[in-house]
Amino acid sequence: MRRQEDVMKRTLITLLTMGLVMVFAALAAAQANDPLPSWNEGASKQAIKQFVKDVSTKGGPRFVAPEERIAVFDNDGTLWAEQPMYFQLAFALDQVKALAPMHPEWNEKQPFKGVLENDLKAVLDGGEHALLEIVMATHAGNTTDEFSQTVKDWLTTAKHPKTGRPYTDMVYQPMLELLAFLRANGFKTYIVSGGGIEFMRPWSERVYGIPPEQVIGSSIKTKFEFRDGMPVLVRLPEINFIDDKAGKPVGINQHIGRRPIAAFGNSDGDHQMLQWTTAGSGARFALLVHHTDAEREWAYDRSSSIGHLDKALDEAQMKGWTVVNMKRDWKLIFPFEKK
């Protein structure tokens, strides 16, 4: 009797232990297999995973051929932060300071005077025209190769005013995971930004895994000519294309020539891109990043001039587009928060 009990007890313990080991193993495996570890469980994460599963399930009713799996992402406020000012504007202001010794007249001339005196209010008082003047003075005149090098050099030294980190550290960890998850499922990921195409291309591959040919943005005109016997492309002080608002579907058509099946944005500047994407037939996905976390990032929407989100938010709620609540949906915001 005693012997039999012992055997039963040992067997029971063994089974329990095995059971627990299996449970823990399953949990660990689930965690290791989670393609979006920085996303909290919830409707947003669920919707993304379901869409990706649907379009990549061969024979399923919502299957999409791999070559049509095009996903477009806004950049400022969607893939990286955009406060307290668009990072490209910070670059332009720094460039004004770097170029100032060659332009003594800037000391007396707005908007440059304001930049040199760190009087941002005076700069912004000049409105759109002042900003355009700054962009042209800092983004044109050189060759494409030279400009690319200037951007790379700036990124190695410039620091974000709030975090003291390089600007390319200020990317959203959950969005990096989302980009990788989509690519692992046959998607081609594109940036479609109001920002400058040549400002993003020098670092988009390193930071986002998005090659230059998959970056769409605003641009100035360039001109082919010879300098010292070598062919170069010179950047002209003339707008070529503004890739914002109704310009985004135009830019997408011009560069890709197919309608995306998924679009990701954060402001009314992305509204038409989301409308264009979701108006196609078959499985479609639209997502807005809603900046709701004043503590870890910034909180802004309808009343903000940067990242103004109003009409697109209304349509998202009406159409059932996914709206990411940064505070609730994201475990981490920036990669440097990782322990």
Residues at the site binding a second copy, with contacts judged by CB under 8 A: 67, 144, 188, 197-198, 201, 205, 211-213, 215, 219, 222-225, 230-231, 233, 240, 246-247, 249-250, 253-258, 272, 275-276, 279
Task: Record the tokens describing residue 12, joined without a space.
Answer: 């029971």
Q: Which is nearer to a second copy, 74 or 301 (CB)?
A: 74
E strands present in 171-214: 188-196
Q: Which of 31, 26, 29 is nearest to 331 (CA)?
A: 31
Instruction: Determine which helix (DSSP H) or strand (DSSP E) holds 333, and give its type and residue range.
Output: none
Cβ of residue 253: shortest distance to a second copy, in angstroms? 5
Cβ of residue 204: shortest distance to a second copy, in angstroms? 9
Q: Which of 177, 200, 108 is nearest to 333 (CA)?
A: 177
Cβ of residue 76: shortest distance to a second copy, in angstroms? 19
Cβ of residue 134: shortest distance to a second copy, in angstroms? 23
Distances (CA, A) of 98 to 1, 93, 143: 91, 9, 17
* Pairing of the two strands 285-292 and 322-325: parallel
E strands present in 29-68: none
Cβ of residue 221: shortest distance to a second copy, in angstroms? 8
Is the distance from CB of 98 to CB of 114 less than 8 angstroms? Answer: no
Is the distance from CB of 306 to CB of 85 less than 8 angstroms? Answer: yes
Instruction: Give the relative orientation of helices 144-157 and 87-99 as an angle to the nearest 10 degrees.
Output: 100
Q: Which of 204, 151, 175, 170 is nearest to 36 (CA)?
A: 175
Q: Which is nearer to a second copy, 9 or 223 (CB)?
A: 223
Q: Which is nearer to a second copy, 113 or 255 (CB)?
A: 255
N-term to C-term CA, the chain:
55
Q: Which is nearer to a second copy, 45 or 284 (CB)?
A: 284
Cβ of residue 230: shortest distance to a second copy, in angstroms? 6
Burial of 156 (C-beta count, 10 Å sphere; 0-12/13-18/19+): exposed
Q: Which is nearer to a second copy, 17 or 254 (CB)?
A: 254
Burial of 203 (C-beta count, 10 Å sphere; 0-12/13-18/19+): middle
Cβ of residue 36: shortest distance to a second copy, in angstroms? 26
What lies within 8 Å, CB to CB, of 142 at 6+ separation is 150, 234, 235
Cβ of residue 248: shortest distance to a second copy, in angstroms? 8
Q: Which is nearer to a second copy, 56 or 277 (CB)?
A: 277
Q: CA 220, CA 121: separation in Å to the nearest integer?
A: 26
Q: Which is nearer to a second copy, 96 or 179 (CB)?
A: 179
Cβ of residue 73: shortest distance to a second copy, in angstroms? 15
Q: Which is nearer to a second copy, 268 or 301 (CB)?
A: 268
Q: Which is nearer to a second copy, 199 or 300 (CB)?
A: 199
